[in-house]
């Protein structure tokens, strides 16, 4: 019997996102259900063109009600319920159906936890924080969402959840251009729900208020809710880590006294010794304030902890890997520190490791190029190193290198990548940027001769302005 999979989403004015959602689930799902809650853009048209069935639901400020309406129309054995601004990573798509087929016979397994990574589309898709979320589950009448905002799926006692190690969902909803509106909306819905219940906050609300106020830049309030969360008994380890991370981030945003920030990091590292993000954050903070020894020690401590994640395939901490987004900056600063110690091999390893994770990180690339110039690396050797990081078939990679190397007047290396980027305009300026003054002068002379010849031809034919141009070229 073939396993049937339903992909569901609720959407309102999601024309800019729905194409990615459809492309992500089309190779997996047997049916796609889009519940439109009042769109005025092309959401419905895009959904139908993409092969989805569209239903309409009158919005009532209740995310659970809309999602449960979608579940009522699903017919699959399993449901994929990603938000409209979420999509499976390219490498994950082919892994979803085999995973569900493997666990389908175990009726106690109700759902699958996956790593969800927040990415910033306004910054080239840069990865930010990550968490573990339930986005795949069995279709069953008793599995329904609760909560008008920050809705959660209720699971019966005794249910098991599979922890997917290699399935990743990317979330664009925290991109800089849209996060504020999203937080403002969630704050209104949360306050409305609390008012309807006599002004009583639920314990879980502290987490939501913490995230909302941080997203709105109200750091005092976000910090207060982080501390309120940490004061709760039997707090889950991942939630404690999130609270400490928010608390520390608030202190840095507010430029709090160093003693206060240092105390926060020490408390976080004591409470969450298995999390690499806190030594990473402390090390980067130490670096920025000039404590080089403290920075190096903390960053190396974090790398040692992070290396242990690979040996914990069933650990939520390892699957979530909320420290990963810090790694490019960690390697950048370690490269600078190792270079200062004259550990050139270690410095190069660090720079390459960082760029392999974030190829278009400008600060990291600038430091790496400065390092290569300091050690006198030959152009052929530089190109060989860069080939190990950048894809010469990628126009984006080649344009990045050509632009950065042109600014750095990188000689033959720049000319090589300028050609790879397909830039053939203004060769005299290219030679100038490459530091080839002789070739720049010769090329400019040749170009001026050609321009003079064209201007004379134009004057002979009575072209307006030709005589003035010749005067300039004398």
Report the CATH number at residue 23.
3.90.550.10
pTM (2 decimals)?
Answer: 0.80
3-state secondary structure of 405: helix
Residue 322 lies in a domain: no
For 13, what's the count of Cα atoms within 13 Å in the CB-facing half-sphere? 3
Tell me if 451 is assigned to some domain: yes
Task: Kindly give the interhelix angle for 205-215 and 176-196, rounded to the nearest 10 degrees.
Answer: 140
Domain-located, residue 278: no
In terms of C-beta distances under 8 Å and separation of at least 24 residues, what long-range contacts does 36-43 make, across chains too? Answer: 36/11, 36/12, 37/10, 37/11, 37/12, 37/66, 38/12, 39/11, 39/12, 39/13, 39/14, 39/15, 40/13, 41/13, 41/14, 41/15, 42/15, 43/11, 43/12, 43/13, 43/14, 43/15, 43/18
Task: Give the torsion through C-alpha atoms of 454, 455, 456, 461, to 10 deg.
Answer: 90
Task: Kindly tell me the burial class for residue 286, based on how many C-beta atoms sit within 10 Å of its own C-beta (0-12, 13-18, 19 or more).
Answer: buried
pLDDT, greater one: 398 or 411: 398
CA–CA distance, 147 with 153 (Å, rounded to integer): 9
Among residues of the chain, what percentage have pLDDT more than 90?
A: 68
Residue 408 lies in a domain: no
State pLDDT tens for residues 204-226.
889 999 999 999 999 999 999 99
Q: Pick the last residue of a domain from 178, 199, 232.
A: 178
Residue 207 lies in a domain: no
Least confident of 162-166, 287-291, 385-389: 162-166
Task: Label residue 426 by pLDDT band (50, 70, 90).
Answer: very low
DSSP H helices, 74-218, are: 93-103, 176-196, 205-215
Quick check: is 410 in a domain? no
Q: Which two tokens stand for residue 229?
A: 């969360």
Determine, yes or no, domain membership for 26: yes
Please give the residue range of the domain that contains residue 70: 5-178
Residue ranges of the alpha helices (H) in 341-394?
A: 344-357, 362-374, 379-387
Q: What stretch of H or E contains 54?
A: strand 53-56
In a domain, 311, yes or no: no
178, 198, 224 - which closes a domain: 178
Please say which residue of 144, 178, 212 terminates a domain.
Answer: 178
State how many domains the chain has. Answer: 2
Task: Give the pLDDT confidence of 140-180 residue by residue, as tens digits.
Answer: 999 999 987 778 898 888 789 999 989 999 999 877 677 78
> Rg of the Cα trace of the chain?
28
Nearest of 53, 87, 50, 48 to residue 72 by alpha carbon: 53
Report pLDDT for 250: 97
- Sign of dihedral through CA atoms 350, 356, 362, 366? positive
Query: End-to-end distance of the chain based on CA atoms, in angstroms?
Result: 85
């Amino acid at each position: 019997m073939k396993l049937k999979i339903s992909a569901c989403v609720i959407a309102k004015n999601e024309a800019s996102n729905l194409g990615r959602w459809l492309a992500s689930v089309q190779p997996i799902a047997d049916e796609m259900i889009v519940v439109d809650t009042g769109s005025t853009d092309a959401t419905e048209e895009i959904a139908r063109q993409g092969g989805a069935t569209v239903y309409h639901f009158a919005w009532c400020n209740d995310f659970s009600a809309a999602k449960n309406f979608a579940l009522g129309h699903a017919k699959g054995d399993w449901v994929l319920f990603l938000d409209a601004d979420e999509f499976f990573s390219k490498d994950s798509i082919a892994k979803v159906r085999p995973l569900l087929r493997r666990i389908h016979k175990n009726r106690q397994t109700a759902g699958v936890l996956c790593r969800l990574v927040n990415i910033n589309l306004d910054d080239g898709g840069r990865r930010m924080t990550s968490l573990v979320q339930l986005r795949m589950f069995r279709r069953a009448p008793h599995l329904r969402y609760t909560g008008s905002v920050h809705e959660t799926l209720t699971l019966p006692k005794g249910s098991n959840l599979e922890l997917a190690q290699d399935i990743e969902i990317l979330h664009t909803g925290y991109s800089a251009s849209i996060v504020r509106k999203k937080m403002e909306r969630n704050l209104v819905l949360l306050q409305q729900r609390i008012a309807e219940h006599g002004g009583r906050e639920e314990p879980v609300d502290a987490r939501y208020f913490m995230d909302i106020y941080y997203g709105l830049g109200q750091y005092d309030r976000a910090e207060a809710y982080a501390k309120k969360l940490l004061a709760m008994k039997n707090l889950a380890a991942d939630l404690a880590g999130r609270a400490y991370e928010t608390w520390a981030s608030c202190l840095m945003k507010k430029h709090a006294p160093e003693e206060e920030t240092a105390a926060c990091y020490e408390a976080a590292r004591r409470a969450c010794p298995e999390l690499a993000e806190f030594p990473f954050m402390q090390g980067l903070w130490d670096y920025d304030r000039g404590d080089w020894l403290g920075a190096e020690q903390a960053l190396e401590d974090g790398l040692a902890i992070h290396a242990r994640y690979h040996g914990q395939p069933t650990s939520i901490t390892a699957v979530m890997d909320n420290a990963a987004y810090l790694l490019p900056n960690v390697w950048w600063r370690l490269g600078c520190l190792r270079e200062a110690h004259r550990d050139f091999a270690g410095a190069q390893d660090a720079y390459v490791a960082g760029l392999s994770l974030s190829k278009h990180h400008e600060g990291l690339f600038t430091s790496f190029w400065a390092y290569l110039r300091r050690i006198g690396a030959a152009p052929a050797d530089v190109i060989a190193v860069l080939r190990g990081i950048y894809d010469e078939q990628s126009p984006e990679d080649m344009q990045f290198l050509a632009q950065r190397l042109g600014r750095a007047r990188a000689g033959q290396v720049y000319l090589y990548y300028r050609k790879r980027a397909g830039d053939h305009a203004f060769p005299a300026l290219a030679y100038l940027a490459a530091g080839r003054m002789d070739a720049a002068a010769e090329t400019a002379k040749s170009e001026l001769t050609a321009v003079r010849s064209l201007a004379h031809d134009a004057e002979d034919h009575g072209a307006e302005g030709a005589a003035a141009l010749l005067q300039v070229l004398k």
